[in-house]
Amino acid sequence: MYLHSTWRLLNTGHLDGATNMAIDEAISRAVQANLVPPTLRFFGWNPACLSLGQAQPGADVDRDACRALGVDVVRRPTGGRAILHTDELTYSVIAPDTEPRVVGTIVDSYRRLSEGLLRGLMLMGVPTQQAERPDGHDSDAGPVCFEVPSNYEIVFGGKKLVGSAQMRKSGVVLQHGTLPLHGDIARISQCLVSRPDPDRVRQRATTVEAAIGRVIALEDAARWMAQGMVETLNLDLQAGDLIDQERAWTEELRREKYAADEWTYRL
């Protein structure tokens, strides 16, 4: 059992992709500078946004199709493959790499944080489990994140339900992940040049609605997931807001990095 710890809880609502990624990095800077405590953040996306993993080729994106569909494109600071963020709950955990809940290897911290996510999903009425792979990876590398679960990611009926990615930099761990709540999980196929087979995506990934037969609102999902973290990780979550320095860093990072094609299509 972990020693009791107090974290900050943020719910920043629905924002555009560049702002969402800028906020995560701004919080990381603030945690590194000891300006704020470890932070659990929940958020949504408006408009819908295709996010690329930090090292994923920008050529994977069908930019014309995204424009026609009204889908933004952003590059994450974390790894992994493409995700279409729409009709979902997204979380981020930002903490010093000495925090017992994230200390150690990426796989170790995935496992610990996934325990909180699993409990939240159980409270939501979704019986799930952790995927386990010998090395934490899969050789079936395509452009879609949700086609294949990595080690300790969360599956329902063998289909990936929660996708997570992580960055460790300057003594801080940033992990964020996405829980598709409803809609067609294969919509991402329209946004990628390779046009992944929609049936294949649906066979390998799912949503909360498909799992339990009803739509869960983002606010309700966030409440249950937060409670899962509290119960499993022995946390006291204190609702808060971004501090002024985080807001200033967010504006800078959005303008100079995440909203710039030089970052988004740099590979």
Specify the residue for token string 């037969």: 213
Q: Secondary structure of 176-238 in the HEC alphabet?
A: EEEEECCCCHHHHHHHECCCCCHHHHHHHECCHHHHHCCCCCHHHHHHHHHHHHHHHHCEEEE
CB neighbours of residue 190 within 10 Å: 18
Is there a catalytic annotation at residue 66? no
The alpha carbon torsion through 145, 74, 46, 117 (nearest 10 deg) reads: 40
SS3 of 82-98: EEEECCEEEEEEEEECC
- Which residue among 49, 66, 145, 191 is the active-site one? 145
| Dihedral sign (CA 107, 112, 114, 115) | positive
Catalytic residue numbers read 145
